[in-house]
Amino acid sequence: MATLEPYRLQVAKGQIEGASVVHQFGVNPDLDSGQEETIMWTDSTRYFQPYPTSAQTMYVNSTSANDDGDSGNQTGIRTMRLEGLNGNYELVSEDITMQGRTQVATTNTYIRVFRITALTVGSNGHQFGDIYVATQGLDGTNRPTGDYYLRVDNSLSMPENISAAAIYTVPAGHTLYLDLLQFKSTIRGGLTTLAHMNFLTRPAVTDAPFTSLIKYAFREPILDFPFPRPLAIAEKTDIECRGAIDASGSNFDVTASFTGLLVKN
């Protein structure tokens, strides 16, 4: 007897045209008091403001010469896939051959980037340096001198071969139906410390602000927000997960993730 599979499973299998699964997660192992920080990488404060208003070429590099797909020294990351939106807010991606500390210009132009993932690696199994997706320009330590929008962080104890940034922008002509939001933190270790987790969105309207959809104070190690009736987020809407500490302290580890179905309108 044939069994009708759940719709979400059919989407995950790629059986539903115009629908796909979105999963974004971020890690910030150094959340400090006195400021709200986007849940991204170690040295984050807020994701760069203002967001780009037009599509631009991005540049990808590592702080280590070992992340190279062309030379004989190929022990780190060799190739990566960058995903984002073009100037029309359409989904675009490309595969990039790393050239160590030398910035590689993207073929596409991007108004948003939200993920870069290692595709092939050498004997090390992961990156040797920090990987940056940025506007052009490097300093003496091979970090971008301008804004950088994604980073694969090599300072974590378990390098993940992917940018861990809890951000997203809904592509044009689509709606994101959010079904789960999750925050996790080590904040409970300090009983006098209170953390605020903040889920914000901003519509594609000139001068529109980010607005909290969920802001929650907690001392628990994990916080789940399932949506039995999915939360609909319109096209071109920017999404950020942020955290803040309301007492003295530093180096709190916070992660955030959200999942949903991206459906063509």
DSSP class per residue in 61-96: EESSTTSBSSSS--SSEEEEEEEEE-TTS-EEEEEE
Is 159 within the bounds of a domain? no
- Domain boundary among the residues 98, 129, 152 is at 152
- What pLDDT is recorded for position 96? 97
Containing 10, the helix (H) or strand (E) segment is helix 7-12
3-state secondary structure of 162: strand
Q: Does the residue 201 lie in any domain?
A: yes
**CATH number of the domain to which 173 belongs:** 2.60.120.1330
Contacts of 18 (CB under 8 A, 6+ apart): 263, 264
On whether both 41 and 61 belong to a single domain, the answer is no
Q: How far is CA 92 from CA 84, 85, 88, 168, 239, in A?
A: 6, 6, 10, 14, 18
69: left (phi over 0), alpha (psi -120 to 50) or beta: alpha
Same domain, 43 and 61: no
Could you tell me which residues come within 8 angstroms of residue 177 by beta carbon, excluding any fewer than 6 positions away?
230, 231, 232, 233, 260, 261, 262, 263
- Tell whether 84 and 119 lie within a shared domain: yes
In the Cβ-directed half-sphere of 19, how many Cα atoms lie within 13 Å?
15
On whether both 176 and 223 belong to a single domain, the answer is yes
Domain that holds residue 34: 7-47+167-264
Virtual torsion, Cα 153, 163, 64, 48, nearest 10 deg: -80
Distance CA 252, CA 265 (A): 40
C-beta separation of 236 from 254 below 8 A: no
The structure's pTM equals 0.90
Do 172 and 253 fall into the same domain?
yes
CA distance linking residue 216 with residue 203, whole number of Å: 22
* Residue 132 shares a structural domain with residue 175: no
Specify whether 172 is located in the same domain as 257.
yes
Last residue of a domain, one of 128, 152, 176: 152
Query: The tokens of 201 are what?
Result: 């969105």
In a domain, 98, yes or no: yes
Count structural domains, the chain.
Answer: 2
81 and 35 within one domain: no
> Based on C-alpha coordinates, what's the Rg of the chain?
19
Residues 133, 69 within the same domain: yes
CA distance 118 to 95: 9
Provide the CA 100 distance to its chain's centre, in angstroms.
22
Whether residue 61 is found in the same domain as residue 146: yes
Residue 116, CA distances (Å) to 40, 85, 187 in order: 13, 13, 29
3-class SS of residue 153: coil
Q: Which of 232, 234, 239 is nearest to 51 (CA)?
A: 239
The verdict on residue 160 lying in a domain is no
Low-confidence ranges of the chain (pLDDT < 70): 1-3, 41-49, 71-73, 156-159, 186-194, 218-221, 246-251
Kindly state whether residue 138 falls inside one of the protein's structural domains: yes
Is there a domain that residue 23 lies in? yes
Is the alpha carbon torsion for 98, 100, 105, 111 positive or negative?
positive
pLDDT score for 191:
43
Residue 158: inside a domain, yes or no?
no
Inside any domain, residue 1: no
**Claim to verify: residue 114 and residue 193 sit in the same structural domain:** no
The Cβ of residue 134 has, within 10 Å, a number of other Cβ atoms equal to 22
- Pair (110, 241) in one structural domain: no
Domain boundary among 152, 179, 203: 152
